[in-house]
Amino acid sequence: MSAKTLDEPARRFEELLGPGSVITDPVRLRTYECDGLTHHRATPGVVVLPESAEQIAAVVRICNEYGLPFVARGAGTGLSGGALPRTDGVLVVTSKMRRILSVDVPNRRATVEPGVTNLAITEAVRDLGYYYAPDPSSQQVCTIGGNVAENSGGAHCLKYGFTVNHVVGLEIVTPDGDIVELADVDSGYDLLGTFVGSEGTLGIATKVVVRLSRLPETVTTLLAAFEDIERGGRAVSAIIGGGIVPAAIEMMDALAVEAAEAAVACAYPEGAGAVLIVELDGPAEEVAHQFGEVTRICRENGAFEIRVADDPVERAAIWRGRKSAFAAVGRISPAYIVQDGVVPRTALPEVLARIDGLSREYGIRVANVFHAGDGNLHPLVLFDDAEPGAGERAEIVSGRILDLCIEHGGSITGEHGVGVDKSRYMPKMFSDDDLDTMQLVRCAFDPRGLSNPGKIFPTPRLCGEVPGVRKGVHPLVESGQAEHF
């Protein structure tokens, strides 16, 4: 579609939203050409910055009139190209929808607009003794709308679950422009749970009701250094096997530690082949008991140094290295790919050994940072983009890591989503029938395929008409209490 065909809808958007909320200038449009996965780029046809659900609904209806695809965008921190715009379509940015609409402590919930950042929710309720549990590392900037779309997790999802376990209500604009509320108190299909994690393909979230969690009585964070990954891995298995569910268990290998050291001087124990961070939280007595167990298990599995943090400052010092890891590899490598795959935790030692093998085979370094408790790997595949062929080799290693995850019964993504980046891997994890069945959901919500098309699914399903043989009359219909379909 040429830029010209967008002229008329763009004018309509301006009438609707005011000129300040519509971007058509090519230079400004380029600000939005990619999300956190920067090697996929496309300049959006038009960008709109609506301020309400009604405005979003009106924008979507105009898109329907012209058959224009639309893509929602929060903060653009996504790592799978989910918010990659369409050159022939509309990018709906939620940055003007940043109000926390209500904080309701007695009901343990907050109602927010989709552009509110993840951390802003916690900041609004922390003094009241509460927080919003899912904590993606990008929480300072990423939006709750993006979290809902990606079903984002975080270091603490081992114990507390993901976005889907903490969202109790949504207001959405459907792909044909209706405003619909989905609530956990409603009867019928769990469309709330179905919408979360649908990566913007089932509509746009315009209001999010989240559950607030009580701040725990005690938090204890412990850092254990091991000679190698195997020993660290054995400690993780023994902790989980011992019936302990820590709030978080994170592991970094030597290369990742080296990078973190170069970036933030986190002063992790010298000579560590693996660093394990274990966070325990909950009632004081329970935490004290578990802390004893965890330290014992770490020692038994060869930890040569254990550090403990009981207050926020010490805790931040322990987490600093881990939290900086992604950005930090920039210090030791000109370019890198962040991978996100999952294996059953018991397969971690073997998969890590095989990743090491791949690294040698292709001459590509891989730094491993991972959520060890749930087997979610974030290998950082390092390469020098100035070196001919290095980028291609890194791509191969990165792809082969996903193959390893699938081979071990895991997943191609634990939290970053499929987006455009991984849609080609979906047929390796799912059969055609699986994917077609998922797309039945897509067709029900979005028969015209306008909401974030080209994401998740390698081949879109043509929705077509449903033949629909209608049979019988339900008593409710007869009595006029329900309409039939």
Partner 1 sequence: MEALHETGVTVHPATPDRTVGGVLPRWVALPESTDEVAALMRVSAAHDLAVVPAGGGTKLGWGDPPERCDLLIDTRRLLLGNGSTVEHSAGDLVARVSAGLALDVLDSTLSRFGQELALDGVPRTGTVGGMLATAVAGPRRFRYGTARDLLIGITVVLADGTIASSGGNVVKNVAGYDLGKLFTGSYGTLGVITEAVFRLHPIPADRRWITVERVSQAGAGHGTAALVTELAAALAEPSAIELDRPDPLGAPTLSALVEGVAAGSRAETLRRLMDGYGSALITAEAPAWWAVPPGADVLLELRVPPAAAHLALRAVAARGLPARVRGSVASAVLRVALPADVGEAAFAGFVTGLRDDLRELGGGLTVLTAPPEIARRVDRWGPSGALPLMRRIKERFDPDRRMSPGRFAGGI
Ligand X SMILES: Cc1cc2nc3c(=O)[nH]c(=O)nc-3n(C[C@H](O)[C@H](O)[C@H](O)COP(=O)(O)OP(=O)(O)OC[C@H]3O[C@@H](n4cnc5c(N)ncnc54)[C@H](O)[C@@H]3O)c2cc1C
94-123: contacts with partner 1 (CB under 8 A): 104, 106-109
Classify residue 176 by its DSSP letter: T
By a kind-dependent CB cut-off of 5 to 8 A, residue 452 interacts, out of partner 1, ligand X, none, with: ligand X
259-288: contacts with partner 1 (CB under 8 A): 282-286
Distance separating alpha carbons of residues 399 and 337, to the nearest angstrom: 11
Q: Of 72-80, 234-242, 277-285, 389-397, which segment contacts ligand X by CB under 6 A?
A: 72-80
By CB under 8 A, name the one of 44, 76, 414, 453 that touches partner 1: 414
326 binding ligand X? (CB under 6 A):
yes
Distance separating alpha carbons of residues 131 and 128, to the nearest angstrom: 9
Alpha carbon separation from 435 to 199, 414, 451 (Å, rounded): 15, 18, 17
Tokens of 147: 């979290």
**427: how many CB neighbours lie within 10 A of its CB?**
14
Q: Are 36 and 76 in contact (CB under 8 A)?
A: yes
The residue among 98 and 354 lying less far from ligand X, judged by its C-beta, is 98
In 3D, which of 101, 66, 125 has the Cα closest to residue 206? 101
Interface characters, 12-51, with partner 1 (x: CB under 8 A) = ----------------------------------------
358-417: contacts with ligand X (CB under 6 A): 415-416
Q: How far is the CB of 46 from partner 1 (least distance, A)?
A: 27
Termini Cα distance of the chain: 36
Q: How far is the CB of 418 from partner 1 (least distance, A)?
A: 6
83 binding ligand X? (CB under 6 A):
yes
374-393: contacts with partner 1 (CB under 8 A): 374-376
Query: Looking at the DSSP assignment, which residues form a beta bridge with residue 72?
Result: 92
The residue among 134 and 226 lying less far from ligand X, judged by its C-beta, is 134
Which residues make Cβ contacts (< 8 Å) with residue 436, sequence separation at least 6? 461
Q: How far is the CB of 316 from partner 1 (least distance, A)?
A: 22
Distance separating alpha carbons of residues 217 and 313, to the nearest angstrom: 17
Secondary structure (3-state) at 6: helix
The residue among 27 and 469 lying less far from partner 1, judged by its C-beta, is 469
Edge-to-edge order in the sheet of strand 70-73: 22-23, 46-48, 90-93, 70-73
Q: How far is the CB of 146 from ligand X (least distance, A)?
A: 2
Q: Which helix (H) or strand (E) holds 183?
A: strand 179-183
Residue 237, Cα to own-chain centre: how many angstroms? 25
The residue among 302 and 330 lying less far from ligand X, judged by its C-beta, is 330
Interface characters, 348-377, with partner 1 (x: CB under 8 A) = -----------------------x--xxx-
Q: Footprint of ligand X on this chain (CB under 6 A)?
A: 35-36, 71-79, 82-83, 94, 114, 136-138, 142-143, 145-147, 149-150, 152-154, 199-200, 204-205, 326, 415-416, 452
